[in-house]
Structure 1
Amino acid sequence: MPDDFVIARNPDGDSTLPYVLRIPLGADGIVLKARETWPRTSKVYCHRVDEWPDEAEVVERVPTRSCVRRGAAIDLVLDRGRENRSQLIMTQARGRQVIFWQSARTAKQARPGVRTPTARASGLPDLEIVVDSRERYGYTFTDRPVSISRARLDAGDYGLVRHGSLLASVERKSLADLVSSLTSGKLGYQLAELASLPRAALVVEDRYAAVFKLDRVRPAVVADGLAECQVRWPAVPIVFCDTRKLAQEWTYRFLAAASVAASEEHLSARVIADLAHPPPLAPAPPTPAEVRAWAVSQGLEVSDRGRVPARLVAAYLDDRDD
């Protein structure tokens, strides 16, 4: 396995990615084309290639302390004092794999600098969230009073299911996935499915400003497309949440609020049904005159005045019910 992290110039002069990287992972390493030699000010777009080019001019070769893959990310630590820690995030766009290279500095710039609250959602002790079985590297909600199950959802990635019905759902997307879904037309179908639910939303794990920093597609095309989607499906908000952690927090709060609202609506429906179909009233108790008249007709002794004995009232009721 290669031990060094290598940067070289891309011999393909027509490529928009002028550098070639070799990541020391696996038997032959991972070879990527990249726009920059290091993610200093923003994330760097990378594209995977099959093999290291023979005519590549090496620009830099750095020993590696650690290179470990964790899920959809590769953590790379170089053996040097500065610019030594970075991470490569793999995702899907337009049906192919794309990679974004970020450093600790660019990741920090992307964070909003806030801490999520530790308090649970208002009015809800616990929450059951169903995660779509096709969701990879999904939210875990480990710091929330949430129980998770996995099942196939008709719409969205995280749902609130009661009595077999999907009452609310949230579709999760990275910015790359959002752009890919929008330009391919897939996003419209997803929003239409979400709009069929009582409550639904789409959450994006990035800030809206990142749309205007896109270099693989015109930012105006994406901005116009998002505006058109929001106008066409106004019941499904598209929420940008800066980071994955904040997107998870927003998803938890949204589904919790939807759960409370669904419970309140169910209770209101029961009250309205009870008012529309009230239970039958119990028959009115007999008057003393009715009991006396019945007792006389039965040949029973009863006084003309005063209280009617309870035994006669009970006998009257038994005879009436029969």
Structure 2
Amino acid sequence: MKYIDIKGTDLKVSNIIMGNMRLKQLSTSEAETLIRTAMEENINFFDHADIYGGGECETHFAEAIGMNASIREQMVLQSKCGIRKGFFDFSKEHIISSTDNILKRLNTDYLDILLLHRPDALVEPEEVAEAFDTLHASGKVRHFGVSNHTPLQIELLKKHVNQKLVVNQLQLSVTHTPMIDSGIALNMNIDQSVNRDSSILDYSRLHDMTVQAWSPFQKAFFDGPFLGDLENYPELNTLIDSLAAKYGVTNTAIAVAWITRHPAKIQVVLGTTNVGRLKDSCQGSEIPLTREEWYAIYQAGGKILP
């Protein structure tokens, strides 16, 4: 397992993250097996959100692993807040109350990282700053970040927030690559040239923000996996399968390795509840794909090189 430093913190973390959005689908014993398998694979980073299962996934996680001080020391815990039923809410009151509830459900005194989950169009950054100051001063949250935010949305927060924003969690997979596409196809009159995310990957590297890639196997926004989709991605699957054979791993590992190969040192958020798939994914942590292989996968995923 490859570990990276999250800039602006003392955290040394696995570049594979166990995501817990679907954990409630498992029984307590199954959830425990999944979490312990992750730890045996040397994953030390666990991602949550207050909306996952209406909060029940966090409770289920803590109960399944028997959360205590000893176990807590082995984990980097991250959760997210800001999404409510039918609207987004970055008010001071909601951020603080959400965090208190997260801590209670996870049976811990602090979060290593708290993320703002989806941009709130009605955000008052002064309120966010007050909430962060309160949570940081109390020791309830050590570090802060965002999820699905653009560079200017981050800059607006940074104008008021005293703590460094260390993470941005964004969607990225072999077949969903807007943060890469426009930079490659600059000045071409094609769809790939459209800058849909304000160069967020370059911004993140310039400002030492760690990118965390969610839905690493999805075709698009929850449209199903591209792995095994021979109808829509025959060339891509053939190439990935051949590389899997070359490196002695599964196709899942190659899909992960395409992301971890990037020099931005991106973390991959796994949402699987399948123990075997989790272990297969971990094999992609350190596979040294060549430049030729990385670009070949990119093109087989449907993109062009000028």
TM-score normalised over the length of structure 2:
0.25
The structure carrying a bigger strand percent of its residues is 1
> Could you state the TM-score of these two structures normalised by the residue count of structure 1?
0.24
Structure number with the bigger relative contact order (C-alpha 8 A, sep ≥ 6) is: 2
